[in-house]
Structure 1
Amino acid sequence: MYNFDKVIDRRGTSSLKWNFQDDFGQHDGLIPYWIADTDFATLPDIMREIKNRCEHPMMGYGAPLPPVYDAIQGWWEKRHQWKPEKEWMLLSFGVVTGINFALETLVEKGEKVLVFTPVYDPFFAAVEYSGHTLVDCPLDYHDNYYTINWELFEQELKNGVKAVVFCNPHNPVGRVWTYQEMEMLTDLCAKYQVYLLCDEIHADFGLDRPYTSAGRFEKIYDHLLVYTAISKSFNMAGLGSSCIMIPDKDVMNRLIETYEKRWMFGPNEFSYVAMEAAYKHGAQWMDEQCAYLKKNVEYVTRFIKENMPEVQMPKHEGTFLMWLDMSCFRKSSDELTSIFASQYGIALGNGAHYGRQGNGFMRLNIGCSRETLKPGLERMADMYKQYYK
């Protein structure tokens, strides 16, 4: 059994979440529920193997050994019913870096790239800064539930979209897309020969149902890139590593060429060690983390219903990020962010960052002990009493 109730003081470390809160008008001091890393101590096996690696007196140029690929493959086969071939795996830096390079490599500048909003905000930058035209395909939102507008989506594909950057499970709205939804998505991308860049970094956080990888649908293999990492699952974002799974050999070779032209040859030495340890030894830890997060979801849901009844909560199916509809305050997300930070000492994710459909919403990171979560909810309730009319 692992202790997810343990509170770890991260102040005084290089933690962006706790020590660099300039976006909220101060350097530190707020209780943070914003950026998407957790406050859980990572899997002890990972830290042990990193320490063991540090015992070696040399730290030269590195490349992953075969057991790293074995561990990744085994994890995905056992937990996600997909066995990616080892030669499909490109170990790289962060997921967003990989999306940038893929768009630059596979899609002509100026061509259309589609995202489903509200969505993880670096997607916007990845599309625009790589020289492409962003197409916003808003998710439908009814009865506190998000779905894809399939008619609108197909129309945008007909209008010339060349790539889709997709989030599965979805950050920030918390959807875990069903098998049927993933089948429809991959069917349409295959029909129109559109690249599907599928960010599956939250794959291990299917809380209400197991998530379905785009990799399970072979019809899209010639236009598919699946992105994952240990950064969310095992709280290892500081390593800046990821794995891109690319079934098509030509797509893989083109992307490798782009990386090599920039002398980018993979993440650091500790990333390989951490990946192998995480995927070989992390199953029980991951199961217990998800069980703890499900209890956090229940706790937040109950607290808000009892203390902030007009705040709406879209149905939460996965990730450790809850999406709160605070439009009852009739304030913008910018205003809400400022009020929470300046008057109540808490930092929440600004919903407007995720697209115009997110204005009036806030994102709450529940990846922490309930002892850490409780004061934030109490301060939100105080704000509700003061500002809800």
Structure 2
Amino acid sequence: MNSPLNNDVPGPEDENTDTADWITTPITSAILRGALDLERTEHGVLPHRLPAWARRQIPDGQLAMAEAQPSGVRVVFRTRATRVELDVLPTRTVYEGAPPRPDGVYDLLVDGRPAGRATASGGHVLTVDMATGSAVTQPGPVGSVRFAGLPAGRKDVEIWLTYREITELVALRTDAPVEPAPDHGRRVWLHHGSSISHGSDAESPTTTWPALAASLGGVELVNLGFGGSALLDPFIARTLRDTPADLISVKVGINLVNTDLMRPRAFGPAVHGFLDTIREGHPTTPLLVVSPVLCPIHEDTPGPSAPDFSELDAGKLLFRASGDPSDRTRLTLRVIREELSRIVARRAADDPNLHYLDGRELYGEKDFAELPLPDRLHPDAAAHRRIGEHFAALAFGDDGLFGSSGA
């Protein structure tokens, strides 16, 4: 029996069988999680992690690109299908002079368990000149992500979209009808952070630290981690305010240092204003403020961060702190942690659902000794796993800051 979501159409040739009948399902919010908006495009739909009104207030291309990269966004449905195809039009980002980045990975989960991994061919290529900030796009074709050999029987299927590429969703095809997956009653965790929360150099979309922590904690993730853009922007605070959630965390600090955007005098009031806005929509929701993880180049040296090309011949792009460590008018990670701890302690006297977590409990000196930051700024895949495991224990454990039973 067909779900009302489905339309029978003649299908393409499958790689492993003769011509087969496929069912094409429109991609709508009914089968998409983790996105706050869907934009209609020439080819299909483009998931956004910020609503349209907020996107109109974005001041730079970096955040515009980051919010359209679907970290934590997944296509979720119930089906008996054993073959699934998702047509996508990705936009891959290439940084001029830097080593090429691997193609984005798509993860398949069946009933919550890993069941496959794939990449998509085709797509646009966006070439960015880090020195000038200029960017040029070369158009490319639609590609496909294919999964076969899924177990028979009724099951919940999730396709987690790549976190590193803007991704237009063109078509979903299956060899059996699709219906929306049921609500399993899990709490919704709304998280905001920087490129580390976005995914940085994680292995795949389900192995970014927020995705891992959400899986271990048994919660539904809405990831508003934006590479280079956790900057206490008011429109981000209003988005957090207006987004339904049972648990909220904000991880701030590193981008304020590596952009050298704000001075200590402005930082405290900006944090207060950011939290005030969130509390307008979530007055009693458990709210966790997380300070930066360890980053030795910026612990006592202000930004901005600058690319270090000294090992480019070996295929490594590094970063360095270009600020003056004797300049006390600039923010460092140590200053930010002290101020965040003080602000949260003061506010928590009247807000018992507000908590603070020192980011070095997620990734600190011992972790750095074992799993150093490969480019001096971003964790690798193993460190993402470490951070996710630590966060799950500290936040979602029975005695954690969020607890297991909710507020």
TM-score, L = length of structure 1? 0.28
Answer 1 or 2: which has greater strand percent. 2
- Structure with bigger RCO (C-alpha 8 Å, 6+ apart): 1
Q: Which has the higher helix share?
A: 1
